[in-house]
Amino acid sequence: MNPEQLNSPNDFQTIVNKIYQNEQFDFVGIALQSSEAPHSIKWDFVAGNTNERFRKIVLRSGIGIAGLVVRTGKPFWDNNLNHYEFSDEMYTPIAKTESLRSAVAIPIISPLTNLVRGVLLAGYRSNKIKISGQTALTLSQYL
Amino acid sequence: MLETTRWINNYFNDSTDAIMIFKDDELILSNQIAKDLQNELELNPQYLVEVADSSVKQKFSPTDNCFSCIIQNKMKEISIPITLAKNMPHPLNYFMIYNVIDQNEKVFSLTLKNRGTIDRMDQLAQQRKLTQYVNRAHEKERKRISEDLHDSIAQGVYSAIMGVRRLENNHFTAEEIKELTTVIESQLNDTLTEVKEMALDIRPSVLDNFGLLAALKVLAKRLEENSGVTINVAGNANTEHLSDDIQSVLYRITQESINNALKHANADEITVLLVAHNHYITLEIMDDGDGFDVPKYQHFNGKSMGLMNMNERVKTFNGAFKMESKSGEGTTITVKFPVA
């Protein structure tokens, strides 16, 4: 699938499902910037969720690994997420509500402007598998 | 030599502790305070000797296994808490210290130390810790604000400027321009949100303009978005007549409680209830999380104010603070303030 085709909501849900089925992640989610003001970024497409709390989360630019991806446009990963507390800069709400120990997040870049319009995040609840740059690369193949 | 003896004598006589020296269980010598005490309280020194004697016996009794006695045994002298003038309107609390001066001659001293003074010292020490904490917290807060200003807000404005420059220099299609402006708008919007959040953290202006309930609702919405945990705020309270101080305390306690619940409790839902009655107002913060063992966390650990601070803040304005929690059954914090 090439980026130009990624516009209808179904496509993103398909991608999320595909990653969840093909890879071993415990949780996969895509957060997209809303086209309407105030353009908040929310987790619109998920797979492997254990509760519905993700719906309430509004992603904050620069906070947590997903927020860093939004701000910098670069992939981020962390293998030790569960030691961050609520007030920490690296506190990632989605990781907390889904009890993820490790997660990787890569940017979803708009083909028109080359700017970040969303985040694809995938993570593990156990620490058996370590996330590396390779994981981020694998993940980016799906976009 | 004579000179020093006189000094020692003066020290003995002017000491703020009542000192009595016994030989063969007979009172030989006592200082001024001890004499005064004896006269005023009609205190029989023999009674003190008996109290001391039974404590000594207890100390060497092998059958006794009380924990506090073990602690006492480690002390060089034996100290015994004692209350004098029990049947008078103001009982006096003392520590009596039994100290052997000469084993062979059977000379020993009994010293009465005012327990009030010792308590006061404890309070002072606690107070010093608190001041230290407040200072540190103050500095930490400034550091955080400065970091936030630099990292988030300056960054956000900078990216927006870069975006506007791109708009100027390139020839975009209408669709591209639309998307680019959306991105710039959302960057500025992020920055705006952060400025608002910082302002809210430092001092909730909603509190001053729209009252406590509105402020709590704004707080709840923000924390809900940051955590995904459902936070409900309900109440009927008209808080106009409440003093600013009490409103602030109620607000900060809600903030601290919700933060605690989000940090430690693993809750799904948090409910905040603010209800005004005829002559009092109550605030309840309930969560359905893991709960914890309350007594363990009630003391000041030097780092985090937590529960003790909440309690102290409430007490300052004659309020009552209650915290109920059981492992696995969530936590409920109740604050009640009298309202004139």
Domain span holding position B332: 207-340
> How many A×B Cβ pairs under 8 Å?
74
Decide if A139 contacts A120 (C-beta within 8 A): yes
Q: Where are the domains of chain A?
A: 3-141
**For residue B177, is it within any domain?**
no
Judged against a pLDDT cut of 50, whether residue B13 lies above it is answered with: yes
Please tell me the predicted confidence (pLDDT) of residue B297: 67
**Chain-wide mean pLDDT for chain A?**
83
**For residue B258, is it within any domain?**
yes
Please tell me the predicted confidence (pLDDT) of residue B89: 75
Q: For residue B205, count other CB atoms closer than 10 A to its CB.
A: 13
Please tell me the predicted confidence (pLDDT) of residue A26: 92
Please tell me the predicted confidence (pLDDT) of residue A4: 47
Final residue of a structural domain among B80, B104, B120: B120
Q: What is the mean pLDDT of residues B5-33?
A: 87
**For residue B308, is it within any domain?**
yes
**For residue B190, is it within any domain?**
no
Is B328 part of the contact surface with chain A (CB cutoff 8 Å)?
Answer: no
Band (pLDDT 50/70/90 cuts) for residue B334 is very high
Decide if B256 contacts B279 (C-beta within 8 A): no
The answer for B3, left when phi > 0, alpha when psi is -120 to 50, beta otherwise, is alpha
Identify whether residues B227 and B338 lie together within a single domain: yes
Question: What pLDDT digit, counting tens, does each position of B211-257 carry?
Answer: 888 889 988 998 898 888 899 999 886 777 888 888 888 998 998 88
d(CA A54, CA A42): 8
Final residue of a structural domain among B85, B120, B155: B120
**For residue B164, is it within any domain?**
no
Judged against a pLDDT cut of 70, whether residue B146 lies above it is answered with: yes
Band (pLDDT 50/70/90 cuts) for residue B113 is confident
Least confidently predicted of A67-76, A124-133, B60-69? B60-69
Final residue of a structural domain among B120, B155, B173: B120
Distance from CA of B275 to the nearest CA of A (A): 27
Q: Please list every residue in chain B whose beta carbon sits closer than 8 Å to the beta carbon of residue A113.
A: 176, 179-180, 183
**For residue B239, is it within any domain?**
yes
Q: Higher pLDDT residue, A122 or B179?
A: A122
Whole-complex ipTM: 0.75
Cβ–Cβ gap A39/B182 under 8 Å: yes
Domain A3-141 has CATH 3.30.450.40: yes
Question: What pLDDT digit, counting tens, does each position of A100-114 carry?
Answer: 888 999 999 887 777
**For residue B200, is it within any domain?**
no
Q: Which long-range contacts (CB under 8 A, 24 or more apart) does B206-210 make?
A: B207/B247, B207/B248, B207/B251, B208/B244
Judged against a pLDDT cut of 60, whether residue B73 lies above it is answered with: no
**For residue B231, is it within any domain?**
yes
Q: Please list every residue in chain B whose beta carbon sits closer than 8 Å to the beta carbon of residue A57.
A: 225-228
> Apex CA A94: angle with CA A129 and CA A131, to 5°?
20
User: Could you say which residues from 260 to 279 on chain B have a Cβ atom under 8 Å away from some Cβ of chain A?
Assistant: 262-263, 268
B220 contact partners, CB below 8 Å, separation of at least 6: B231, B232, B233, B258, B270, B272
Q: Higher pLDDT residue, B15 or A29?
A: A29
Identify whether residues B211 and B333 lie together within a single domain: yes
Domain count along chain B: 2
d(CA A15, CA B132): 54
Band (pLDDT 50/70/90 cuts) for residue B72 is low
| Best residue of A6, A27, A86, A119 to probe chain B, by most B CBs closer than 10 Å | A86
Percent of chain B scored above 90 by pLDDT? 7
d(CA B287, CA B267): 6
Most confident of A20-24, A84-88, B176-180: A20-24
Please name the helix (run of DSSP H) or strand (run of DSSP E) that holds residue B67, with its range, or none: helix B67-74
Please tell me the predicted confidence (pLDDT) of residue B112: 86
Question: What pLDDT digit, counting tens, does each position of B253-278 carry?
Answer: 998 889 888 888 888 899 999 998 88
Question: What pLDDT digit, counting tens, does each position of B82-104 carry?
Answer: 887 777 777 778 888 888 888 78
Please tell me the predicted confidence (pLDDT) of residue A1: 45
